[in-house]
Chains A and B, each alone.
Chain A
Amino acid sequence: MPEGLAFGLQWGGYALELVLLIILLSRGYLHSLRSLCVFVGTLLAVDAGVRPLSLFLYGVRSNAYYDLYWVTDLVLVLASFALICAFFRRACLQHHEIWKLVRPALVIVFVLELGISSATFLRQYHNNLLATRFMYGFSQDLYFTCVVLTTALYLMLEWFKSRDHLLHLLVCGLGIQYAGPAANTALYLITSNSDARHLLAYLLPVCNAAMLAIWVYAVARQPRSAVGRLRVAA
């Protein structure tokens, strides 16, 4: 039963990613929400392409699959960081003076995150120290950084009293996607319990599916006339 559930969640996630990408492209969001389209495309390519292919080629217990899994995880978190930056830009469209402050702050955080993550990762990789515990700690920090940034964005939208409902829902989805895994990886690191590790195998796809479902709803709910307006604004 749990294996069936994990399988269902996995394939449900792929289906939602594909549906979202189709809706985004068919409704002409490629111009107005380019960053989101690129992110969903990357997510689909990694989840439904690169990872299953490497699993098929190398097997679940191989080092190649293990390394590739964590590297793609890092790529996805960095991609979502870029997405959050794009959302910040969109939130500040009518507040240029705020954007002038936010932009350098985002650049500094991004450089720090990229630098520290890559340096730590490469050092561990060269020393063959990519232990599971290290990877969980590494992921926890990346997820938590994304949660903090998403929350800052959410608070900014509330402060601006933004009427961009689409952006509000997109941000809520991102928050769910990263808060759940951050909490779960922290739980694993505190308890070192295998149950907490198994929980992550379910919580991660559940949070991913929740985010995608909210995004599908947000994008599908948007009337076509509003998409045109968004394109002009972009």
Chain B
Amino acid sequence: MLSVPILIISTALLLFYLQAACEKILRKPFEDPLPDPIVDANRLEFPFIRRALEEYEAPVDYARFRVQLKCDYLALIYLLRNAANQRRRLSGDERWLAIYFRTLSGLLALWHLFGLGERKLLLKMTTVLEYFANVLGERIKRVRFGHLTASEYLMSL
């Protein structure tokens, strides 16, 4: 029965490679990592959660962190779809990472249920949000709004 170990190992490797592909996409270098204007203007909270978990070794406040990250995710997805994006939809890698974030979010609930450590998952979720913020920052930097009024910009779409 060689098929049993093959089934177990292959399934584990399939999940591993799916996760590895997401991690590799997240490693994309950005010119200006974590643009503060995006974080400040939208009052995103994930940088503070990350700092609290990484630097201060703060205890995990599961309920609060989860809601905060989910709200950041919704805000960033909305902005990615609508801010300086003429196609009004997510690109392939953004959609892929959005699925990854939702999977991590589901796993976080399971981890919490079984009393496993949530810190690592929360940090991974903040990495995805940071990627989204960086993409947004780059996209907005490329579009020149400066010399346009609001109506001129809308007319140009």
**Are A and B genuine complex partners?**
yes
| B31 CB to nearest chain A CB (Å) | 12
Q: Does B74 contact A (CB under 8 A)?
A: no
Complex Cα spacing A144 to B14, Å: 11
Residues in B whose Cβ lies below 8 Å from that of A169: 21, 24-25
Which B5-35 residues have C-beta < 8 A from chain A? 6-7, 9-11, 13-14, 16-18, 20-21, 24-25, 27-28
Contact between B17 and A172, CB atoms less than 8 A apart: yes
Complex Cα spacing A137 to B7, Å: 12
Residues in B whose Cβ lies below 8 Å from that of A190: 1, 3-4, 7
Q: Does A175 contact B (CB under 8 A)?
A: yes
Complex Cα spacing A151 to B17, Å: 9
Q: A165-B24, A189-B3 are in contact. Are A217 and B10 (CB under 8 A)?
A: no
Q: Does A214 contact B (CB under 8 A)?
A: yes
Residues in A whose Cβ lies below 8 Å from that of B96: 213
Contact between A183 and B24, CB atoms less than 8 A apart: no
Q: A190-B3, A213-B92 are in contact. Are A147 and B18 (CB under 8 A)?
A: no
Contact between A183 and B14, CB atoms less than 8 A apart: yes
Q: A179-B14, A180-B14, A213-B92 are in contact. Are A144 and B6 (CB under 8 A)?
A: yes
Q: Does A186 contact B (CB under 8 A)?
A: yes
Majority SS at the chain A contact face: helix
Contact between A175 and B17, CB atoms less than 8 A apart: yes
Q: Does A76 contact B (CB under 8 A)?
A: no
Residues in B whose Cβ lies below 8 Å from that of A217: 25, 92-93
Residues in A whose Cβ lies below 8 Å from that of B1: 190
Proximity bits, A171-182, B CB within 8 Å = 1, else 0: 011011001101
Contact between B21 and A179, CB atoms less than 8 A apart: no
Q: A169-B24, A172-B24, A176-B17 are in contact. Are A183 and B6 (CB under 8 A)?
A: yes
| B28 CB to nearest chain A CB (Å) | 7
Contact between A187 and B14, CB atoms less than 8 A apart: no
Q: A169-B24, A172-B24, A217-B25 are in contact. Are A179 and B7 (CB under 8 A)?
A: no
Residues in B whose Cβ lies below 8 Å from that of A154: 20
| A145 CB to nearest chain B CB (Å) | 10
Contact between B7 and A186, CB atoms less than 8 A apart: yes
Contact between A183 and B11, CB atoms less than 8 A apart: yes
Q: Does A168 contact B (CB under 8 A)?
A: yes
Contact between A147 and B92, CB atoms less than 8 A apart: no
Residues in A whose Cβ lies below 8 Å from that of B21: 169, 172-173, 176, 214
| B17 CB to nearest chain A CB (Å) | 4
Residues in B whose Cβ lies below 8 Å from that of A80: none
Q: A183-B14, A217-B25 are in contact. Are A175 and B7 (CB under 8 A)?
A: no
Residues in A whose Cβ lies below 8 Å from that of B16: 175
Can you identify 13 A-B contacts, CB atoms within 8 angstroms? A168-B24, A172-B17, A172-B21, A176-B17, A176-B18, A180-B14, A183-B6, A183-B11, A183-B14, A187-B3, A189-B3, A213-B92, A214-B21
* A-B residue pairs, 7 tightest by C-beta: A175-B17, A183-B10, A179-B14, A186-B7, A182-B10, A172-B21, A186-B3
**A residues within 8 Å of B by Cβ?**
137, 140, 143-144, 147, 151, 154, 165, 168-169, 172-173, 175-176, 179-180, 182-183, 186-187, 189-190, 207, 210, 213-214, 216-217, 221
Known A-B contacts: A147-B10, A187-B3. Give 13 more (CB < 8 A).
Answer: A147-B13, A151-B13, A165-B27, A175-B13, A175-B14, A176-B14, A180-B10, A183-B10, A183-B14, A186-B4, A186-B7, A190-B1, A213-B96
